[in-house]
Amino acid sequence: MARWAVFDVDGTLLPHTSTEQEFFKHLLAQQMLPPANLGMFLLMSAWYTIRRQPHQLKANKMYLRGFPVNATRRYGKRFFRRFLWPRFSRDGIAEVLHRHAAGYRIFILSGAPLFLVEPLRQKLPVDELLASQPEERNGRFTGWLAAPHPYAQQKRDYLLELAAPLEMDFHQSVVFANHHTDALHMELFGEVVAVNPTPRLESEAHQNGWRIVHWH
């Protein structure tokens, strides 16, 4: 069995924001979003918000509909290098490197689109990476997802599915995350670290004796 260090990205390794939020704002600022895409994205976001369906809200990728897959991946890599990586927490990066040096395998678990977090493999010693997978058809993104979005219970389900093939010893492994919905998978681990926690996660951390840290 192996020891793993599981790291969230948005709000954790990337403090106080999310990779997709920054990418979306960039596309808006550069006027790269077709009006039809933006309209559909906002309409669906409003619908899921009214219906209180956070899973569907997070899975809404309609702003990407029709974008060419290969070109978007290349653009995403450049965006990551130029705008995202400089904002990653130095404390978080140091923790990844420390755990790797201590013999842990490194797992990046994120709800962000894969093309925005895949470049982390070139920056950090990543052994496994799981992120949301925008659906592709005829070389273009459809605006839907090809697999369930890694969020809340789904993150826990993915980890439980991967535990055997990855030989993950939860008791000897550690997890780092920031959001209260992450508590569902954090409780699987022998060592839990709440990073820049939301108020609800901070409360749960105190109740469960989990360590709390603040990365900048």
Tens-digit pLDDT profile for residues 165-202: 999 999 999 999 999 999 999 999 999 999 999 999 99
Residue entry with tokens 């209260």: 180
CA pair distance 4, 7, nearest whole angstrom: 10
Report residue 53's pLDDT band, with 50, 70 and 90 as the boundaries: confident
The domain in which residue 29 lies consists of: 4-213
The larger pLDDT score, comparing residue 58 to residue 134, is at 134
CATH of the domain at 52: 3.40.50.1000
What local confidence, expressed as pLDDT, does residue 57 receive?
73
Report residue 109's pLDDT band, with 50, 70 and 90 as the boundaries: very high
Cα atoms in the 13 Å half-sphere on the side-chain side of 175? 25
Model pTM score: 0.95
Are the beta carbons of 118 and 136 closer than 8 angstroms?
no
Report residue 47's pLDDT band, with 50, 70 and 90 as the boundaries: confident
CA pair distance 115, 123, nearest whole angstrom: 14
Neighbours of 25 (CB within 10 A): 12
State the average pLDDT for the chain: 96
In this predicted structure, the answer to whether residue 123 has a pLDDT above a threshold of 80 is yes
| One-letter identity of residue 215 | W
**CB neighbour list of residue 55: distance below 8 Å, 6 or more residues apart:** 149, 151, 152, 154
What local confidence, expressed as pLDDT, does residue 145 receive?
96
Beta-bridge partner residues of 141: 136
Structure tokens at 95: 């923790």
Helix, strand and coil content of the chain, in percent to the nearest 5, comes to 50, 20, 30
CA distances from 89 to 84, 85, 93, 115, 203 (A): 10, 9, 6, 20, 23
The larger pLDDT score, comparing residue 86 to residue 44, is at 86
Question: How many structural domains compose the chain?
Answer: 1
Specify the DSSP class assigned to residue 62.
G
| One-letter identity of residue 33 | L
In this predicted structure, the answer to whether residue 107 has a pLDDT above a threshold of 80 is yes
